[in-house]
Amino acid sequence: MKTLWSSTLTLAGAASLTLGMGLNAHAQMPELSAPPAIDGEIAGDHGTHTIRMGIGLAETSPQYLSSQYFGEILSQRTEGRITVNVFPNSQLGDDVQMMEMLQTGTLDMSYPSSSPAVTYVPELAAFDLPFLLPTREAAVAVMQSDVAQSMLDAFDDNGIKALAFSENGYRQLSNSARPVSSPEDVAGLNVSGLTIRTMENPVHLSIWQTLGANPTPMAFGELFSAMEQGVVDGQENPWSTILTSNFHEVQDYGTQSRHVYTPFIIMMSERTWDSLAPEYQELVQEAARQSAEYEIQLATEYDDWARDQLEARGMQITRLDDEQIAAFQEAVQPVYAEWAPRIGEDLIAEIQAIVDATMND
């Protein structure tokens, strides 16, 4: 085995190599773990391939940094015969559009959230159930389970090769109207319910409707201007996404609700996959899993730091205690009554068993 690449990486160092998008240039950056050394034999010569990969987030995000690492693995283990060009910031379209491009073969790879992918694999909606995955350790155990692999395999009938789960993260609420510490704050008492942008996902719509908000599905690339113009009051995303997308500039309030844990899925067009020699396919699969593990590590390191940075930049963040979380859990029980039969009660039970085993270790 030969070690091909090992280096240290800070988010600042990575950002300096970009086009200057994402966080402001003067921002302090966190120290992040170095990408793992690239080990393994050099693949044989099976031709050259240039892979176009579209992602939704900015160059400073764990998603982008791990995508760059994915490309480095393939480049170095094929001696440059495979090149991955990563297009961040939804340049090539939103998650839904890019998955459609994978099906037609007009895009090679994408990295969507699982939530809009339920159109292709309905079982993925299990990840959208509120408060199902109480800890990151439990979430990772589920994503690395046979249950999750069966979901990835289900994409094969849709013109998409799903390679690995990684972390989008715990979704947190932000808005420009008022602090939120209870379900009543979402619905409003003497004021209207919050208008919340959601992904195009029916379970998310059900969550916010149940809480008394006015959910508004919208592409991520349209969200900043919609909040800036007051079209929507707020949105829900992981702290890292809120920070790297500069949402604090148009959102005064945040709530650490951790109401849904959402994975990302590394995907390749089946047409692109079929064009690769078996040895290259095996290498792509291995690189996807390695970069997914690295992305989860970066996202973990980034999460609390991003929240603290948002506070430092003026966002008022409410940290819910156990009693307040319990109130939200109670309020969203109708979502389970509505969706568990549709998603599959046996599937949900399997996931809960993995969670329970992880929590009891």
What's the predicted TM-score (pTM) here? 0.86
**pLDDT higher than threshold 60 for residue 26:** no
* Cα-based distances in Å from 320 to 54, 109, 179, 180, 325: 35, 37, 11, 9, 6
- Verify that 17 and 55 share a domain, yes or no: yes
Q: 326 and 210, same structural domain?
A: yes
Nearest to 128 by CA among 68, 31, 207: 207
pLDDT at position 305 over 90:
yes
Query: What are phi and psi for residue 209, nearest 5 degrees?
Result: -65, -40
267 lies in some domain:
yes
Whether 321 shows a pLDDT value over 90: the answer reads: yes
Nearest by Cα to 61 from 312, 265, 317, 301: 301
Mean pLDDT to the nearest integer, 76-88: 98
Q: Residue 189: which pLDDT band, with cuts at 50, 70 and 90?
A: low
d(CA 139, CA 169): 9
In a domain, 76, yes or no: yes
The CA-based angle 120-237-215, given to 5 degrees, is: 70
Q: What is the pLDDT of residues 255-273, one digit of tens each?
A: 999 999 999 999 999 999 9
Residues 303, 309, 313: CA angle, nearest 5 degrees: 145
Asked whether residue 88 is domain-assigned, the answer is: yes
Determine contact, residues 335/260, Cβ cutoff 8 Å. Answer: no
Domain limits at 274?
3-121+143-167+263-303
Assess whether pLDDT exceeds 90 at residue 221. no
Residues 6 or more apart whose Cβ sits within 8 Å of residue 323: none
Same domain, yes or no: 224 and 88: no
pLDDT band at residue 28 using 50, 70 and 90 as cut-offs: low
Tell me if 127 is assigned to some domain: no
Residue 90 forms part of a structural domain: yes
Both 94 and 52 in a single domain?
yes
In whole numbers, what is the pLDDT of the chain averaged over residues?
A: 91
Q: Do 253 and 321 reside in the same domain of the chain?
A: yes
The verdict on residue 338 lying in a domain is: yes
**Domain tally, the chain:** 2
Per-residue pLDDT averaged across 100-121, rounded? 96
233 and 282 part of one domain? no
Is there a single domain that holds both residue 180 and residue 295? no
Same domain for 19 and 99, yes or no, is yes
Q: Is residue 194 part of a domain?
A: yes
Helix intervals (H) in 191-277? 202-210, 223-228, 239-244, 270-275
Q: What is the DSSP string of 100-126?
A: HHHHHTS-SEE--BSGGGGGT-GGGGG
- The count of other CB atoms within 10 Å of the CB of residue 67 is 27
Q: What is the mean pLDDT of residues 272-280?
A: 98
Question: What CATH number is given to the structural domain containing 289?
Answer: 3.40.190.170
CA–CA distance, 257 with 294 (Å, rounded to integer): 25
Question: Contact 29/62 with Cβ under 8 angstroms?
Answer: no
Q: Report whether 348 contacts 207 (CB < 8 A).
A: no
Distance CA 105, CA 269 (A): 6
Q: Are residues 286 and 212 in the same domain?
A: no
In this structure, the answer to whether residues 287 and 196 fall within a common structural domain is no
pLDDT over 70 (residue 231): yes
In a domain, 138, yes or no: no
Whether residues 190 and 333 fall in one domain: yes
Residue 276 and residue 189 in one domain: no
How much is the pLDDT for 191?
75
